[in-house]
Chains A and B, each alone.
Chain A
């Protein structure tokens, strides 16, 4: 029996019946239009969330100077023995910021989880 390179045993098989699952991350890697749609949706979700949080920040903390400019008599109002300006800027602002940050982190992580599930699903 000769052992030349041409006489190697070849195993003949049919095409695989079970296709290896192709996940959608391949679309992102290949920068197909579909991949672009997936990425675009994640980016839009996250940006919308960020802008929403910043809008709330602007409408709560951001309007305070304007409020005190338009209604200077607010500075004379006392709540819990403290002038309103001091109470809002010295105390109340900080829990508000923390709450906004907490809401953001929860939602941002949820967006990412949804995205990870979406693109990791196999197309069958």
Chain B
């Protein structure tokens, strides 16, 4: 925050993380040769490595910095964010994981096209992947700017530029195969960077005769304030996070890297464990911050709590060392999540835009992927530079709501309901997407945030998800002659274990 802070630990940490990321990416390059390596690491990633990679990719700036700051400012109801982000993987496990892997598709649009045999659904899905991906990339770049400004005193444009360049270097050189090693490394880096300082800080707190916060002003109530409206907000958040996870493009793309459906399930189970361990830690920072740094509990400053608390509680070189560690973890969070999102968006762009015939010319698989990656990273990076104050936490929440009200119904019905039609899918995607976009526009336009209208528009998932789901079902039932002829065989493919030899279409 203040420019007088000692910048050395932050600079060293950011440099080391950047070098390690590039180094591991280059090392992973030796294994990357084919287009299949680039997109899905040739589908040979074992569950434990893959789970670490998923964890590394999933734990973004919002998890590493945001949760602690939100808990400090608003209290226990903010714990629903990490709970929802973890429970989302349980929902994904029981409804989607194995069938999605068995579908044998590269990306979400591939799945939609294979299931419904429609170019229209594919186009709609491609558009949504890019939209959700950019909505999620934006706060990563902005968070990087905030972090560098807070720890090193650098100008806010430097963070997005560094993250953008490192991500591009890694993604374009090695694709999915090399990024898998990078992501796995970054999960363990993030866990260490949060765990070790937390232990030290808890020891300091205990030797300080364990002071407690005074008074109870609703800080320990795990429910948004405001009676019925608070109840609605909390449940809308639960719906968005529990159901949105399965629709995030960078999460979905990871499932195609598993060898088979059984491995996809086991990977998800390990992810549940890894996320559960990680999310024990941010609330510790939030609670300690309430005791030692209550002055940080205001919008704009709270996100820096994790970065500043070690220096506030521990003096001297030890405090500087811990600050360096959490800075490294925060930077790893930006790099890994941005890389995953860039891969997902680049995969879709390279299949549907850059890999197309443009006049006479057509780029090959890897070249198209690289060009797609450049577009995928540059656009949100430029937006982050142009509009640095769009609201970090809000953009992530909106990305989840959007994913929950579009891809979640499509995946659920596509996997479990034979009678889904292309017309139904498009109608449902439109209903959910337009409903969500309207709510986003309303929220950004209105300055007040009271009354039911603002509450409903500010937290749209609780009504957009049922709207999209029921539209998809109703329109599909109205167009029974459009049920694709191969729907039965495709469901066989999705649900039959690999050991059974059947015709998978």
Q: Separation in Å of the A32 CB from the closest CB of chain B?
A: 11
What are 18 A-B contacts with C-beta separation under 8 Å? A25-B502, A29-B503, A39-B492, A54-B94, A65-B222, A65-B235, A83-B76, A85-B76, A89-B222, A91-B280, A94-B276, A101-B90, A101-B93, A104-B93, A108-B265, A116-B499, A119-B500, A119-B502
Q: Separation in Å of the B170 CB from the closest CB of chain A?
A: 31
A42 to B493, CA, bound (A): 12
Q: Does B171 contact A (CB under 8 A)?
A: no
How many chain A residues sit at the interface, stated as a range, is 35 or more
Q: Separation in Å of the A13 CB from the closest CB of chain B?
A: 29
Q: Interface of chain B, helix or strand or loop or mixed?
A: helix
Choose among A49, A75, A90, A101 the residue that contacts B280 (Cβ–Cβ < 8 A). A90
Q: Does B272 contact A (CB under 8 A)?
A: yes
Q: Verify B79–A90 contact, CB threshold 8 A.
A: yes
A-side contacts of B291, CB under 8 Å:
none
Known: A75-B216, A101-B268. 4 other contacts (CB 8 A): A28-B502, A31-B489, A98-B272, A120-B500
Q: Name which residue of chain B comes closest to A113, CB basis.
A: B497
Q: A46-B495, A94-B280 are in contact. Are A115 and B500 (CB under 8 A)?
A: yes
Q: A49-B94, A68-B223, A105-B269 are in contact. Are A39 and B491 (CB under 8 A)?
A: yes
Choose among A39, A85, A89 the residue that contacts B495 (Cβ–Cβ < 8 A). A39
Q: Separation in Å of the A38 CB from the closest CB of chain B?
A: 10
Interface string of B468-505 (1 = CB under 8 A from A): 00000000000000000000110110011101111100
Q: Name which residue of chain A comes closest to B231, CB basis.
A: A69
Q: Does B346 contact A (CB under 8 A)?
A: no
Q: Verify A54–B91 contact, CB threshold 8 A.
A: yes
Q: Separation in Å of the A24 CB from the closest CB of chain B?
A: 10
A-B contact count (CB 8 A): 141
Q: Name which residue of chain B comes closest to A23, CB basis.
A: B501
Interface residues of B in 76-100 (CB under 8 A from A): 76, 79-80, 83, 86-87, 89-91, 93-95, 98
Q: Verify B503–A98 contact, CB threshold 8 A.
A: no
Q: Does A64 contact B (CB under 8 A)?
A: yes
Which 10 A-B pairs give the minimum distances between C-beta atoms? Answer: A94-B276, A89-B79, A83-B220, A112-B497, A85-B222, A50-B94, A29-B503, A75-B221, A65-B234, A85-B76
Q: Identify the B interface with A (CB < 8 A).
A: 76, 79-80, 83, 86-87, 89-91, 93-95, 98, 216, 218, 220-223, 227, 230-231, 234-235, 238, 262, 265-266, 268-269, 272-273, 275-277, 279-280, 283, 287, 416, 488-489, 491-492, 495-497, 499-503
B-side contacts of A108, CB under 8 Å:
94, 98, 265
Interface string of A88-101 (1 = CB under 8 A from B): 11110111011011
A28 to B489, CA, bound (A): 9
Interface residues of A in 1-51 (CB under 8 A from B): 25, 28-29, 31, 36, 39, 42-43, 46-47, 49-50
B-side contacts of A57, CB under 8 Å:
87, 90-91
Q: Verify B492–A93 contact, CB threshold 8 A.
A: no
Interface string of A58-74 (1 = CB under 8 A from B): 00011011101100100
A62 to B94, CA, bound (A): 16
Q: Separation in Å of the A31 CB from the closest CB of chain B?
A: 6
A97 to B265, CA, bound (A): 14
Choose among A28, A72, A75, A76 the residue that contacts B492 (Cβ–Cβ < 8 A). A28
A18 to B58, CA, bound (A): 57
Q: A88-B222, A94-B86 are in contact. Are A53 and B94 (CB under 8 A)?
A: yes
Q: Separation in Å of the A19 CB from the closest CB of chain B?
A: 19
Q: Verify B98–A50 contact, CB threshold 8 A.
A: no
Choose among A64, A69, A75, A120 the residue that contacts B220 (Cβ–Cβ < 8 A). A75
